[in-house]
Structure 1
Amino acid sequence: MKTATPQMARAINDRLALDLLLEHGSLTAPQLRALTGLSRPTVSDLIERLRVNGLITVVGESGEDRRGPNARVYGIVADRAHVAGVDVRRDAVNVTVADITGRTVGSATRPLATGRSRVTGRPRRSGDDLVEVIADAVGEAAGARRLHAVVVGAPGMVDPHSGELATDNGVPGWRPNLLQALRHRIDAPVTLENEVNLAAVAEHRAGAAQGRRDFVLLWLDEWVGAAVTLDGRLRRGASGGAGEITTLGLRNGSLCDLLSAEFIDGLDEESLAARIAEGAFVSVAVLDPGLVVLGGETGRSGGDVLAARVGEHLASLSPVPTQVRASTVEGNAILHGALFTALSIAHQDVFGEGPVQPTPPGSAPATISG
């Protein structure tokens, strides 16, 4: 049996302490000892090591009457790294920048051209180059801060090998090899990810799927999509097509036609729940995830009532026990997922080995407050 070397043990202990500081915000040495189970000398050594390496600093004292090392409160050096999450929709680009603790430090929004050409029926192209629009928004949100990682969420299937979009996504100004162009324009590593996959990351880290190893996110918004998490990891499939359910045929038409926002206006809740259950049934029958999360505007606005009715309809279609929950991620789930993913990259690079997080496509392996 292979045993850990002293160097490996120190790295594991350091990352454990850093993860606890990320979770709690700040801790004293006695609190670190209690939470880690490590000895006094080991905790003293790791604190000194992390301070020398510029990863933590003293942020206060635990009591006015106490003095000495045990009274010091330690926190992570927040500006050690900054990351950006980018949500590229068909009508706007939204950017949020956070420090390495997940605290938001900047944001920006850029509108995109909307509407469709009367001649071709395709989305009108923006007068501004999309690469420049995204880069300018990232630059505004970051200010003078240097970025460690940028994660971009956008509609469409992302090739897990090249990291580029495999199909047209209808975003005005999107073009082949846009990711490469962004990487030349932005002075930081840039990763592209499917937007529903990022929403699933947010749901897993801070929403209705916290603590679950397996679940399917059904995205119900202006467009319809799904994302799959199995054994705690986001699954993209061999070609990046896992969850691409828009063309799935149901009894009365395609899933996209029956569940996208423009087609469900005027439906009563019972009819809507039946449609959603029929769409979710395929994932449940094949994957047995145990949990289906309803995301997007329709899923969130329907809340627990809609989720309960979908669960009833789903139970009548499948003998497999499956919980159905409404999304509980606050705000923009896609943007949160992009930030979580970018932070995972930064934590891996700056802090070292830690818990396995979803690895973005086309990238090397590597919490959010508003």
Structure 2
Amino acid sequence: MKTATPQMARAINDRLALDLLLEHGTLTAPQLRALTGLSRPTVSDLIERLRVNGLIAVVGESGEDRRGPNARVYGIVADRAHVAGVDVRRDTVNVTVADITGRTVGSAARPLKTARPADAARPPETGGPAGAGRPPGAGRSVEPGGSGEPGDDLVTIIAGTVAEAAGPRSMHAVVVGAPGMVNPHSGELAADNGVPGWRPNLLQALGHRIDAPVTLENEVNLAAVAEHRIGSARGRGDFVLLWLDDGVGAAITLDGRLRRGASGGAGEVGTLGLRGGLFCDLASAGSIGGLDQDSLAAMIAEGAFTAVAVLDPGLVVLGGETGRSGGDALAALVGERLSALSPVPTQVRPSTVEGNAILHGALLTALSIAHRDIFGEVPA
């Protein structure tokens, strides 16, 4: 068993206090002592340490009749860093910017043209991760540009939308969600994704236009991050998100960790062959319009069966427009059909993430990067 050094113990206590401040917003020293179980001197030391490092500040007092250190209310210095989440659809780029506490401070959206340039259909080439050789940290700016008009390059549109949402703020991290398999080695798309203007090594090009580390992630994986943190899978270590929207796919979380697979293809259930055709074709918006709820549930259950039989996740979340609009009624029908196909007990729930789940997941992922870099990782 590894013995914690004084330095390790301080790092653990500091991160615990910062996480509690993120959760509660503001706390007094007595409240921190009660929540952490740490002694008065230890809490006093960590408060002073975090204040000197510019991570927390006094934001008020707990009562007019009280004075002194115990009456001070502390909060995280929200402007210490800002991050951006980006959702690249086939027709729109959406961006949300938040401070390090997760509070939204800016947003922007720009349309994409429908025609694709002639060279955009070539498969992506291998490229290194954006920001390679550049240490993480705050104080990075975003280059503006791009109006979303047909003549604009996609890189220009994305960078311009981030700049519009960020305003004068520098970005610490930017996470981009897009359709398609992301190669875990290069960080780029493994194949064309149908987004107008997407081209090989687009991530590297973004890294030259946005002066912050840029991470690309499959959009369904990001929706699963949101579902795990703030949605129907909150508190669950294992679950599968079945995405039923403009595209059809799945994301897998096991032991609380997103699983991408050796090539980034974990959860690519759209190519499953079902009775009547491919799952992605059968579950498309154009195909399900004429189905009654029972037939739709049967088809979804058949598509989810493989993941349930192999992974035994215990929970399937129905996401995307079809999953959300179907609500509890569709989830219950899918659950009944699934139980008839598999002896493995599995709950089925609709997505409960409000708004754009992909954008939420991108922002949460970017915040995790900022928290790790600025607050420090909890030692193993």
- TM bucket, shorter chain: over 0.9
Question: Structure 1: how far apart are the matches of 2:2 and 2:202?
Answer: 46
The superposition leaves residues 26-75 of structure 1 with CA deviations (integer Å, 9 ceiling, x where unpaired) of 00000000000000000000000000000000111111111111111000
Q: 1:303: Cα distance to partner? A: 0.4
TM-score by length of 1: 0.93
CA RMSD of aligned residues (A): 1.6
* Kept after mapping to 1: 8 A contact 2:8/2:379: no
* Kept after mapping to 2: 8 A contact 1:223/1:261: no
Superposition pairs of residues 138-287 of structure 1, within 5 angstroms: 138-287=162-311
Q: 1:172: Cα distance to partner? A: 0.2
> Which residue type is aligned with residue 268 of structure 2?
E
Superposition pairs of residues 1-370 of structure 1, within 5 angstroms: 1-114=1-114, 126-354=150-378
Question: Structure 1: how far apart are the matches of 2:116 and 2:371?
Answer: 42
> Which residue type is aligned with residue 190 of structure 1?
V
Question: 1:246 aligns to what SS in structure 2?
Answer: helix
> Which residue type is aligned with residue 345 of structure 1?
I
Q: 1:222: Cα distance to partner? A: 1.4
| Other-structure match for 1:366 | none
- Which blocks of at least 5 consecutive residues in structure 1 are unaligned? 357-370
Change over 3 Å in CA distance of 1:7–1:355 after alignment to 2: closer
Question: Structure 2: how far apart are the matches of 1:152 and 1:308?
Answer: 33
* Kept after mapping to 2: 8 A contact 1:94/1:137: yes
Q: 1:114: Cα distance to partner? A: 2.7
Question: Structure 2: how far apart are the matches of 1:268 and 1:313?
Answer: 14
Question: Structure 2: how far apart are the matches of 1:246 and 1:290?
Answer: 21
* Kept after mapping to 2: 8 A contact 1:126/1:172: no
Change over 3 Å in CA distance of 1:261–1:116 after alignment to 2: farther
Question: Structure 1: how far apart are the matches of 2:208 and 2:247?
Answer: 31
Give the paired residue count: 351
Question: 2:191 aligns to what SS in structure 1?
Answer: coil
Question: 1:106 aligns to what SS in structure 2?
Answer: strand
TM-score by length of 2: 0.90
* Kept after mapping to 2: 8 A contact 1:93/1:134: yes
> Which residue type is aligned with residue 105 of structure 1?
V
> Which residue type is aligned with residue 91 of structure 2?
D
Question: Structure 1: how far apart are the matches of 2:179 and 2:285?
Answer: 16
Q: 1:127: Cα distance to partner? A: 2.5
Question: Structure 2: how far apart are the matches of 1:65 and 1:223?
Answer: 59
| Other-structure match for 1:368 | none
Question: Structure 2: how far apart are the matches of 1:77 and 1:262?
Answer: 48
* Kept after mapping to 1: 8 A contact 2:116/2:196: no
Question: Structure 1: how far apart are the matches of 2:357 and 2:271?
Answer: 24
Question: 1:97 aligns to what SS in structure 2?
Answer: strand
* Kept after mapping to 2: 8 A contact 1:88/1:152: yes
Query: After the TM superposition, which parts of structure 1 deviate over 2 Å for at least 4 consecutive aligned residues?
Result: 114-117
> Which residue type is aligned with residue 278 of structure 2?
S
Question: Structure 2: how far apart are the matches of 1:27 and 1:2?
Answer: 32
Question: Structure 2: how far apart are the matches of 1:318 and 1:169?
Answer: 33
Question: Structure 1: how far apart are the matches of 2:271 and 2:321?
Answer: 20
Change over 3 Å in CA distance of 1:276–1:68 after alignment to 2: same
Question: Structure 2: how far apart are the matches of 1:212 and 1:311?
Answer: 18
Q: 1:116: Cα distance to partner? A: 8.2
* Kept after mapping to 2: 8 A contact 1:108/1:138: yes
Q: 1:355: Cα distance to partner? A: 9.2
Question: Structure 2: how far apart are the matches of 1:251 and 1:35?
Answer: 55
> Which residue type is aligned with residue 331 of structure 1?
G
Q: 1:115: Cα distance to partner? A: 6.6
The superposition leaves residues 67-115 of structure 1 with CA deviations (integer Å, 9 ceiling, x where unpaired) of 1111110000000000000000000000000000000000110100137
Q: 1:2: Cα distance to partner? A: 2.8
Q: 1:261: Cα distance to partner? A: 1.2
* Kept after mapping to 1: 8 A contact 2:116/2:197: no
Question: Structure 2: how far apart are the matches of 1:262 and 1:229?
Answer: 29
Change over 3 Å in CA distance of 1:336–1:354 after alignment to 2: farther
Change over 3 Å in CA distance of 1:355–1:258 after alignment to 2: farther
> Which residue type is aligned with residue 201 of structure 2?
N
> Which residue type is aligned with residue 108 of structure 1?
A
- Which blocks of at least 5 consecutive residues in structure 2 are unaligned? 123-148
* Kept after mapping to 2: 8 A contact 1:83/1:149: yes
Which deviates the most, 59-68 or 47-56? 59-68
- Aligned sequence identity (%): 85
Q: 1:251: Cα distance to partner? A: 1.1
* Kept after mapping to 2: 8 A contact 1:222/1:262: no
Question: 2:172 aligns to what SS in structure 1?
Answer: strand
Question: Structure 2: how far apart are the matches of 1:172 and 1:299?
Answer: 26
